[in-house]
Amino acid sequence: MLPLHTMSEAIHSMFTRICPRYDLANDVLSFGLHRLWRKALKRAAKLSPGQIALDLCTGTGDVAIELKQIPGITVIGADFVFPMLRIADEKSGTIPFIQGDTMRLPFRSEAIDLVSVSFGIRNVDSPLAGLKEINRILSANGKVLVMEFGQPQNRAFSALYNFYSKYIMPCLGGILSGDRSAYEYLPESAGRFPCRENFLALMKDAGFSKLNYRPLCFGIAYLYEGIK
């Protein structure tokens, strides 16, 4: 077991509880949209044969599996919840998955060409410290891609989405996963997580440049990109 801080312990225990039903809940609650978002992340990766990609907070490994479709690259997945990695390993069979905390990654500096983090950075104790750690392990000109929930900008859509995430998601997520509190935490943490320019400012503080982002589904989520 990895040494964990208090907030990490709560997050660790929550993801350990929901992992057996995580994929099912993800599919139902996102209406399958997360599949399209992963493809957007893969397109943004622009990796060349021989390069190394690391998918952090990989969970059940779907982003790592998507990236693995890029010919000739090496993909590694990492997460701090071991049972998530067991599911990822059963699904992929060929990708190495390792247990690791995004705040203290078991990689030497400048070892990785691309780091992706999909719906994970919000859960890390200090997102800024996590981004700095990612910056440390990236090679010169290496790329970070972060996909994370945020707040939609359009007022009418935002009202609709807030209703869905506040009332329907916890109820449905609770039934599907057996853990209602995890699906109360999701919209609550997404609602207060810095998005758009505020998240780019964090990336800049962590040492990234050439920053940009694009909204996914009217800003339910965002795909951020930065270069070391």
Ligand X SMILES: C[S@@+](CC[C@H](N)C(=O)[O-])C[C@H]1O[C@@H](n2cnc3c(N)ncnc32)[C@H](O)[C@@H]1O
Residue ranges in contact with ligand X by CB under 6 A: 8, 11, 15, 26, 57-59, 62-63, 79-81, 84, 101-103, 118-120, 123-124
C-alpha radius of gyration, the chain, whole number: 17
80 and 99 in contact (C-beta within 8 Å)? yes
Q: How far is the CB of 94 from ligand X (least distance, A)?
A: 18
Q: How far is the CB of 95 from ligand X (least distance, A)?
A: 13
Tell me the CA distances in angstroms from 221 to 122, 148, 194, 210, one per residue in order: 12, 5, 11, 20
115 and 138 in contact (C-beta within 8 Å)? yes
CA distance 105 to 2: 11
CB nearer to ligand X: give 29 or 84. 84
Q: How far is the CB of 170 from ligand X (least distance, A)?
A: 15
CB nearer to ligand X: give 81 or 195. 81
For residue 50, the SS3 value is coil
CB nearer to ligand X: give 59 or 219. 59
Residue nearest to ligand X (CB): 59
Q: How far is the CB of 67 from ligand X (least distance, A)?
A: 11
Amino acid at 8: S
Helix, strand, coil percentages for the chain (3-state, nearest 5):
50, 20, 25
CB nearer to ligand X: give 15 or 224. 15
CB nearer to ligand X: give 155 or 185. 185
- Encoded tokens for 217: 């589904």
172 and 29 in contact (C-beta within 8 Å)? yes
Q: How far is the CB of 120 from ligand X (least distance, A)?
A: 4
CB nearer to ligand X: give 43 or 210. 43
87 and 109 in contact (C-beta within 8 Å)? no
Q: How far is CA 64 from the centre of its chain?
A: 11
